[in-house]
Amino acid sequence: MIRLVYISTARTVLSTAALGEILRVSRANNAASDVTGFLVAGGRRFLQALEGPSVAVDTTFDRILRDPRHFATVVLSRDTVGDRQFGQWSMGHQPSSAGGNVTSALVNLIDQIPDATVRAQFEQFALQHAC
């Protein structure tokens, strides 16, 4: 099993509906291919973790890379792992900010990520890209 974490930039700020559509398709595809993960959107930036069998994660990420809705993808980590950090979500999501602050719901959720490195990746992103 692997976990891949990347950041990218949306071409334009996505509406709630457009983001909802990405999540709908993601959840259906990921559930079918044993991929779990979490997507945070802050302004035009995305941070996403994908975890599951390596072929499934790489195949999913290949599709994501070709998606014209975002660009400037940078892989932060791609590690072989024993445990899932987001096992309960085919693709979890929590609105990242409200009125200039990272939402307490997202902070609580990030606090519960067991792996310190993954938690730090999400904490740093939430602080930098809350808007």
Ligand X SMILES: Cc1cc2nc3c(=O)[nH]c(=O)nc-3n(C[C@H](O)[C@H](O)[C@H](O)COP(=O)(O)O)c2cc1C
Q: Which residues are near ligand X by CB under 6 A? A: 22, 25-26, 29-30, 37, 39, 46, 48, 50, 60, 63-64, 67, 69-70, 91
d(CA 60, CA 77): 16
Nearer Cβ to ligand X (39/126): 39
Dihedral angle of Cα 69, 12, 37, 115, to the nearest 10 degrees:
130
Closest by Cα among 49, 48, 50, 41 to 10: 41
Nearer Cβ to ligand X (91/113): 91
d(CA 81, CA 75): 16
Nearer Cβ to ligand X (72/99): 72
**Residue 95 beta carbon to ligand X: minimum distance, rounded to whole angstroms:** 15
The CB density around residue 109, as the number of other CB atoms within 10 Å, is 18
**Residue 68 beta carbon to ligand X: minimum distance, rounded to whole angstroms:** 9
**Residue 37 beta carbon to ligand X: minimum distance, rounded to whole angstroms:** 6
**Residue 2 beta carbon to ligand X: minimum distance, rounded to whole angstroms:** 14
